[in-house]
């Protein structure tokens, strides 16, 4: 009994059906059934070289399918039809629509009623064109809206670099907000920002290379003069009112005019990333899926190591961690990471005991203090002074002074002796002592605060 016609053969016959007459169709069907060849028969007719080539190609195809990257679900917005009409609602009731309202902008940021109407160009576009019109209006430097957006953006960049914006109320540039401390500077930077093509990096470079940004937050005694207390007054160093910085403090005690740099605590994500960078374990790969987190039985939110794409994914930058409303990594929440359920124009910065307890006892910090110690040992070997100097340079970006070297060397010797007394080998004792020193440096205010 002849085999049935294979699907691919039938598809070929159907394609060519319209080009054949009845006799040709009959002969093709009859002969195709008679000469049908199975896959096994084809394999028998192939040479060993051909079979080897087929097996090799099928193996490469299978390997390619295993390595093929899956992007998962991609969410997108698109127009499903013409935009619906918008009406004024009489007494706010949708059942009683009033006059139709054309697409437009805020009248207070437009120079006339005509300018407030959106000029929508749908030529060559597959959408309503309203979002494009809004974007063009917001970035047009010749309109009040574009001028406002430029100032708001410059103020946010300044706030990120200095802790407080030129306008201290970044979410309110209106009459209800605070006035700018340096209005002429805000105008000049906004002009440079727009003329530079709205590019952020050149503006950041301009600010960071300025003298005001390169100031220190520390005030040296030699600069201010001191008044040592006696039995009648507390023994504290006070600003000498005759010095320049003494006059500055009396004139501007809140440092609104930036006579010195503001002391700023690092943001939550920067604290974690700095620890990773210091230990040498920071995974700098860009892009990819988020790193998942999970809640432990004790309520602490940690990285879910059972669902990591790679072994080093748990050490990726904090921006790649999964955030879901109040479901954030516990370490980041301790350092005032804002909730994403609401907008945050300016982060709060607190100083609470829980932050110190986290830096002292958190498993993540202790683990990377050990990695930090191994990094130092790999660079310097068993040279105690070299270890202390390398640790300070990596963690604090400076060289320790003689007193710090002496104190750290004494601490290393004391801790190593305690570990050896407990039965630990000399090599492990030295490593544990160095890890504790590295842990101490991670807990310093100099590491957690930008000066």
Residues 6+ apart with CB under 8 A from 312: 281, 283
CB atoms within 10 A of CB 32: 16
Average pLDDT of the chain?
84
Are the beta carbons of 90 and 96 closer than 8 angstroms?
yes
> What are the domain boundaries of the chain?
1-51, 144-208, 265-350, 363-450
- The mean pLDDT of 440-445, rounded to a whole number, is 94
> Rounded to an integer, what distance in angstroms lies between the CA atom of residue 45 and that of residue 54?
13
Q: What six digits make up the tokens of 332?
A: 């980041």
Q: Which pLDDT tens digit goes with each residue over 242-288? A: 677 778 888 888 888 888 888 889 898 999 999 999 999 999 888 88
CB atoms within 10 A of CB 33: 13
pLDDT at res. 228: 43
> pTM of whole model > 0.85?
no
Using DSSP bridges, classify how beta strands 293-295 and 86-89 pair: parallel, antiparallel or unpaired. Answer: unpaired
Count of all residues that appear for the chain in the document: 451
DSSP characters over 185-211:
HHHHHHHHHHHTTS-HHHHHHHHHTST
Are the beta carbons of 436 and 413 closer than 8 angstroms?
no
Are the beta carbons of 325 and 293 closer than 8 angstroms?
no
Judge whether residue 195 has pLDDT over 80.
Answer: yes
Q: How far is CA 307 from the centre of its chain?
A: 21
Contacts 24+ apart (CB under 8 A), 74-83: 78/126, 78/127, 79/126, 79/127, 79/128, 82/128, 83/128, 83/130
Label residue 69 exposed, middle or buried (CB < 10 Å: 0-12, 13-18, 19+): exposed
CB atoms within 10 A of CB 47: 8
pLDDT at res. 232: 46
Band the pLDDT of 1: cuts 50, 70, 90: very low
Label residue 13 exposed, middle or buried (CB < 10 Å: 0-12, 13-18, 19+): middle
- The mean pLDDT of 361-368, rounded to a whole number, is 92
Judge whether residue 110 has pLDDT over 90.
Answer: no
Residues 6+ apart with CB under 8 A from 124: none
Q: Which pLDDT tens digit goes with each residue over 374-427? A: 999 999 988 899 999 999 999 999 999 999 999 999 999 999 999 999 888 999
Q: Which pLDDT tens digit goes with each residue over 39-64? A: 777 777 788 888 888 888 888 888 77
Percent of the chain with pLDDT over 90: 35
């Amino acid at each position: 009994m002849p085999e049935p016609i294979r699907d691919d053969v039938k598809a070929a016959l159907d394609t060519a059906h319209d080009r054949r007459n009845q006799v040709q169709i009959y002969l093709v069907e009859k002969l195709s059934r008679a000469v049908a060849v199975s896959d096994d028969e084809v394999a028998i007719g192939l040479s060993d070289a051909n079979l080897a080539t087929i097996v090799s190609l099928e193996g490469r195809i299978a390997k390619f399918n295993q390595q093929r990257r899956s992007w998962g679900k991609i969410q997108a917005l698109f127009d499903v039809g013409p935009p619906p009409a918008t009406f004024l609602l009489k007494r706010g009731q949708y059942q009683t629509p009033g006059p139709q309202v054309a697409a437009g902008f805020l009248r207070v940021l437009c120079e006339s009623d005509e300018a407030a109407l959106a000029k929508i160009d749908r030529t060559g576009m597959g959408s309503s064109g309203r979002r494009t019109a809004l974007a063009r209006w917001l970035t047009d430097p010749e309109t009040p809206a574009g001028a406002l957006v430029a100032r708001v953006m410059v103020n946010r960049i300044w706030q990120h670099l200095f802790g407080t914006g030129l306008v201290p109320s970044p979410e309110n540039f209106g009459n209800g907000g605070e006035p700018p401390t340096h209005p002429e500077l805000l105008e000049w930077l906004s002009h440079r920002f727009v003329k530079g093509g709205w590019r952020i990096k050149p503006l950041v470079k301009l600010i960071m290379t300025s003298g005001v940004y390169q100031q220190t937050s520390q005030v040296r005694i030699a600069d201010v003069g001191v008044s040592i207390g006696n039995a009648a007054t507390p023994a504290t160093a006070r600003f000498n009112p005759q010095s320049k910085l003494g006059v500055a403090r009396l004139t501007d005690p809140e440092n609104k005019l930036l006579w010195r740099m503001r002391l700023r605590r690092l943001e939550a994500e920067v604290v974690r990333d700095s620890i990773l960078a210091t230990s040498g374990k920071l995974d700098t790969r860009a892009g990819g899926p988020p790193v998942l987190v999970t809640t432990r039985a004790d309520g602490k939110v940690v990285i879910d190591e059972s669902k990591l794409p790679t072994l080093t994914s748990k050490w990726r930058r904090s921006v790649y961690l999964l955030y879901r409303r109040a479901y954030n990594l516990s370490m980041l929440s301790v350092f005032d990471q804002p909730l994403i359920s609401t907008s945050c124009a300016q982060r709060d910065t607190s100083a609470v005991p829980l932050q110190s307890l986290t830096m002292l006892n958190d498993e993540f910090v202790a683990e990377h203090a050990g990695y930090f110690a191994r990094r130092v040992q790999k660079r310097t070997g068993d040279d105690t002074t070299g270890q202390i100097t390398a640790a300070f340079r990596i963690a604090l970006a400076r060289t320790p002074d003689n007193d710090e070297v002496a104190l750290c060397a004494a601490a290393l010797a004391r801790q190593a002796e305690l570990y050896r007394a407990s039965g630990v080998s000399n090599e492990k004792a030295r490593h544990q002592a160095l890890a504790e020193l590295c842990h101490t440096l991670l807990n310093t205010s100099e590491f957690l605060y930008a000066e």
